Amino acid sequence: MSDTITTGLVSLDAPLGADKAAVIRSLAARVVAQGRATDAEALYADAWAREEKDETGLPGGIAIPHAKSAAVTTPSLAFARLTPGVDFGAPDGAADLVFLIAAPADAAEAHLAVLSKLARSLMQEDFTSGLRAAKSDEDVVAIVQAAIGEREAAAPAAPAAAAAPASTGLDVDGRPARVVAVTSCATGIAHTFMAADALTAAGKKAGIDLVVEPQGSSGYQALPVDVIRNADAVIFATDVDVREPQRFAGKPVVRSGVKRGIEQPDQLIVEAVAAANNPSATRVGGEATGATAAPAETLSWGARIQRILLTGVSYMIPFVAGGGLLIALGFLIGGVNVGDEAFSVIVDNALWALPAGGLAQYLGSVLFVIGVTSMGFLVSALAGYIAFAIADRPGIAPGFVAGAVAVIMNAGFIGGIIGGLLAGFVAWWIGRLNAPRWLRGLMPVVIIPLAASIVASGLMILFLGRPIATLMEGLNAWLTGLAATDAIILVGVILGLMMCFDLGGPVNKVAYAFAVAGLSAGSAENPTPYLIMAAVMAAGMVPPLAMALASTVLARNMFPPVERENGKAAWLLGAAFISEGAIPFAAADPLRVIPSMMLGGAVTGALSMAFAVQSLAPHGGIFVLFAISPIWGFLVALVAGTVVSALTVIALKKWIAPKELAEAEARVAVAA
């Protein structure tokens, strides 16, 4: 493994610019100049994107801009000692010691471990003072290489015997508190380990027993079960989800972002001990560890439902993304009619016994069937993981069953949400019953799934499924009658509104099913079904593309980090005609997102009809442009609707209840 830092990557007391953007760009250029990255602007862009999510300035005059980037070929540390310092957002002022941590996008664990050692060294005063006193580039390289294990360090002087820590009053039941902590950041390289070391040092100083589990990019070593069991409280200093959080179920918990673990470790410890001594403190969700356990979280019902729905959506998206793209690839390889016989083709044929259409038809059918199968899990996965968010693992089975029943009853996406909520709350309620000891072992694997499945799925079958199905049938009949008149542009507007109303739900599915069902009747003499299919597909692509445009290009500062990340994925989802890519945005802010999407969908539907755009393919988005005519009309309609929706949602977020938006972003940041 090559040296991570060299003299060519060091800048001592040279002016690199008046602001942090200039400093990062200059250090990125230095990495490229040393042949360790291919594109300075790409490396800068990746580091700046990370900086925009969360400023990298730290107390003590330190800044650690960092990124994983495809432009990086060799893991590198570029260092600058600045005179004067530059503001990187630290609470105590400008930074004079700046490390640009540049890791390849596919960095090996060994490289990530080296970069993590640097982050931990930055918490040591002798390391930073050595850098400030360094006389040459060679001195800096020697200090850093010794810290990260690339050069043997001088043997330290024997420390003086430390006095026993004085009592700080951080006691539980008359003894020093026992606290466990988890730290993690978005990249898992720097902040994760710096927070771990800061908390460890603060715990030692406070005279308590504190053990930290840093969950970094190079993996993590799980805390021993007995350590967690004996802990009085838990600290989650994290910017991303804690891995295996059920291990801490029932423990009093203090949550914060990872930077607070670096900047305020003493305060976090005080709060954790206070929570341990408070019977009403917030606790980690999951199965309680005792009869007196407090509720998992004290959130408002609106915030709780939002978190539950977003959990379901996050688990559902991979089914949608993978399935939709596989279907599109099936059309591309096997032709626009590949779906007509795809299932019989894969059953009756093989690579050595190809169908009449040859290898292309066979491979296209294989991709199509896999994609349709993946998409078939969409509603079940949504319902199952909504229930999981409410009742943990005992809720998964009844949630999946309720979602499958919603599909059988033609209740679609909305039915899946309702079924998942029913299954989850029933499973949660049953799990809180004080069952006899001999029955407790059967509760999560037999009793809860059985009872919750009966209640949730039974209600879907007996009361809820049929009304939704009836509504869908009525809408379908109405649209068919309207399309037979001269109001074809109005049909485009209506279909655009429907496609963007519930983003993959029953109303969306009515419009889509209406379009697909009519394709078989389309012909050169009767192009109306092809016109309808094009309008539906284009309008359905608008929501994810519009939210991607708004959150990653036009108004990044209006969206919290998690939504900016969702926006990156939404570009591909929208291009593939996967309307569900906008669900995370709509679930978090429905009153502003959904009307904006509907407006853009209506524009796209109307223009598609006005340009007489036809589509012979029922799915695939831009991946089936070969089956769309005229392509220019399709693209113009799509771009127009996307821009209208993006500008509208930005305007609504800017002028309609911006205070509420800021509060929602703060809640998301704390929850992460």
* Under 8 Å between Cβ of 251 and 187: no
- CA-closest candidate to residue 504, choices 544, 548, 456: 544
Q: CA-CA distance, 368 to 422, in Å (whole number)?
A: 33
Q: CA-CA distance, 60 to 460, in Å (whole number)?
A: 59
Known catalytic membership, residue 111:
no
- CA-closest candidate to residue 591, choices 534, 537, 660: 660
Q: Is 455 helix (H, G, I), strand (E, B) or coil?
A: helix
Q: CA-CA distance, 500 to 641, in Å (whole number)?
A: 11
Cis peptide before 84 (omega within 30 of 0): yes
Known catalytic membership, residue 500:
no
Q: What is the largest CA-CA distance in the chain?
A: 95
Cis peptide before 355 (omega within 30 of 0): no
Instruction: Report residue 241 as tokens.
Output: 């989800």
* Under 8 Å between Cβ of 261 and 197: no
The size of the chain, in residues, is 672
Q: Rg of the chain's alpha carbons, rounded to an integer?
A: 29
Read off φ and ψ for residue 277, nearest 5 degrees: -95, 5
From the centroid of its chain, how far is CA 265?
A: 27
Name every residue whose Cβ is closer than 8 Å to that of residue 416 and which is 6 or more positions away in sequence: 378, 379, 380, 382, 383, 386, 402, 403, 406, 407
> Of the residues 111, 185, 500, 619, which is catalytic?
185
Instruction: Report residue 625 as tokens.
Output: 């442009």
Instruction: Report residue 62 as tokens.
Output: 């330190």
DSSP 161-184: PPPPPPP-S-EETTEE-EEEEEEE
Does an H or E element contain 113, and which?
helix 109-121
> Of the residues 66, 111, 191, 619, which is catalytic?
66
DSSP 398-446: HHHHHHHHHHHTT-HHHHHHHHHHHHHHHHHHHHTS---HHHHTTIIII
Does an H or E element contain 615, and which?
strand 614-615
**Residue 534 identity:** A
Q: Is 48 helix (H, G, I), strand (E, B) or coil?
A: helix
- CA-closest candidate to residue 615, choices 519, 547, 543, 520: 519
The catalytic residues are: 66, 185
